[in-house]
């Protein structure tokens, strides 16, 4: 239970940072009651349609990053190598990458453009998603996030990465790992993994005592994906943990394009 309390306290700290306009700075989580965010979550507005992030015309401000992204994408297309030189996915250089997509946009809302690559033209184990950023001081591309290619980006700076498999007791709930954007490090930091137990699907031994809201679900929040089905949480506690990261739930929709030479060259058009 101590592990769960630490994760809940960390979420409360993020909520306070947002209210103070001090995202990316550490705060004392013990100062905030766990109930605070649960109340905020219950008052959250309905989720609007995703905000579209189209490819913007090339500007002088983004020219260096765009040039680097073009080189990186051409390297992916020609030699199946990532910006750091490592192999893409399973490493099959003869693989057809036409099913892969990419987008260039300011997905973490820091004023700079990122390169997103969704590599799905592979066996399940080789599929991956990448968010790359341009480091102007070092003059190189840095990896901000690497995950399975089932990403949901939030305006708040959070990213939800759904797992490749749902082999637990979640039923209609799909497990995921949640990340927050750290503007100081300019990368995504993992904040926890979530799975659930759906009573309608797995009624035997369902922990009714933890489901105080009667939602038919209890949730499990862990600092890693090694879930042990201990410490079931009511839906209100789960939503209270999640709210500081996703806030209103407003999502972002990057303008994904298929990985082709023609589409890559569009990045250099003004």
> Could you tell me whether strands 51-53 and 251-254 are parallel, antiparallel, or unpaired per DSSP bridges?
parallel
The pLDDT value recorded for residue 228 is 82
Residues 259 and 103: their CA atoms lie apart, in Å, by 9
Nearest to 202 by CA among 172, 228, 179: 172
Neighbours of 205 (CB within 10 A): 9
Question: What whole-number distance in Å separates Cα of residue 158 and Cα of residue 238?
Answer: 16
Contact 53, 28 (CB under 8 A): no
Measured distance CA(219)–CA(194) in Å, rounded = 7
Please state the pTM of the whole predicted model. Answer: 0.85
Does residue 241 contact residue 176 with C-beta atoms inside 8 Å?
A: no
At residue 32, the pLDDT reads: 26
Structure tokens at 261: 């030479």
- Say how far apart CA 67 and CA 111 lie, in whole Å: 17
**Contact status, residue 247 vs residue 41, Cβ threshold 8 Å:** no
**Arithmetic mean of pLDDT over the chain:** 87
Flag the least confident range among 31-40, 124-133, 173-182, 243-252: 31-40
- The pLDDT assigned to 229 comes to 85
Q: Is the pLDDT of residue 20 over 50?
A: no
Strand 128-135's sheet: what is its strand order?
140-147, 128-135, 114-119, 101-105, 257-258
Of the candidates 13, 25, 2, the residue with the CA atom closest to the CA atom of residue 240: 13
pLDDT in tens, 185-244: 999 999 999 999 999 999 999 999 999 999 999 999 998 777 788 999 999 999 999 999
Residue 145 and residue 159 in contact, taking contact as beta carbons nearer than 8 Å: yes
Burial environment of residue 83 by CB neighbours within 10 A (0 to 12, 13 to 18, 19 or more): buried
Q: Is the pLDDT of residue 38 over 50?
A: no
Q: Give the model confidence (pLDDT) of 118-134 as tens digits.
A: 999 999 989 999 999 99
> Is residue 225 within 8 Å of 163, Cβ to Cβ?
yes
Model pLDDT for residues 52-88, shown as the tens digit of each residue: 999 999 999 999 999 999 999 999 999 999 999 999 9
Burial environment of residue 40 by CB neighbours within 10 A (0 to 12, 13 to 18, 19 or more) = middle
Report helix, strand and coil shares of the chain as percent, to nearest 5: 30, 25, 45
Q: Alpha carbon 159 to chain centroid distance?
A: 2
């Amino acid at each position: 239970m101590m592990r769960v309390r630490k994760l809940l306290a960390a979420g409360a700290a993020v909520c306070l940072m947002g209210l103070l306009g001090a995202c990316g700075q550490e705060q004392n989580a013990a100062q905030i009651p766990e109930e605070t965010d649960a109340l905020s979550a219950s008052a959250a507005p309905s989720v609007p349609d995703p905000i579209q992030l189209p490819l913007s015309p090339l500007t002088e401000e983004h020219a260096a990053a765009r040039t680097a992204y073009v080189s990186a994408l051409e390297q992916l297309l020609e030699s199946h190598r990532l910006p750091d030189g490592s192999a893409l996915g399973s490493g099959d250089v003869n693989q057809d990458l036409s099913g892969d997509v990419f987008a260039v946009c300011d997905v973490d809302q820091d004023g700079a453009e990122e390169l997103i690559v969704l590599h799905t033209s592979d066996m399940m184990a080789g599929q991956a998603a990448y968010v790359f950023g341009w480091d102007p001081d070092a003059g190189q591309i840095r990896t901000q996030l690497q995950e399975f290619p089932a990403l949901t980006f939030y305006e708040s700076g959070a990213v939800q990465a759904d797992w490749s498999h749902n082999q637990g007791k979640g039923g209609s709930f799909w497990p995921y790992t949640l990340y927050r954007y750290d503007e100081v490090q300019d990368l995504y930091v993992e904040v926890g993994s979530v799975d659930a137990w759906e009573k309608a699907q797995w009624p035997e031994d369902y922990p009714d005592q933890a489901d105080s809201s009667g939602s038919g679900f209890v949730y499990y929040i862990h600092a890693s994906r090694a879930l042990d089905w201990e410490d079931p949480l009511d839906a209100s506690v789960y939503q209270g943990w999640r709210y500081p990261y996703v806030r209103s739930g407003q999502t972002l929709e990057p303008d994904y394009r298929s990985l082709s030479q023609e589409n890559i060259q569009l990045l250099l058009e003004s």
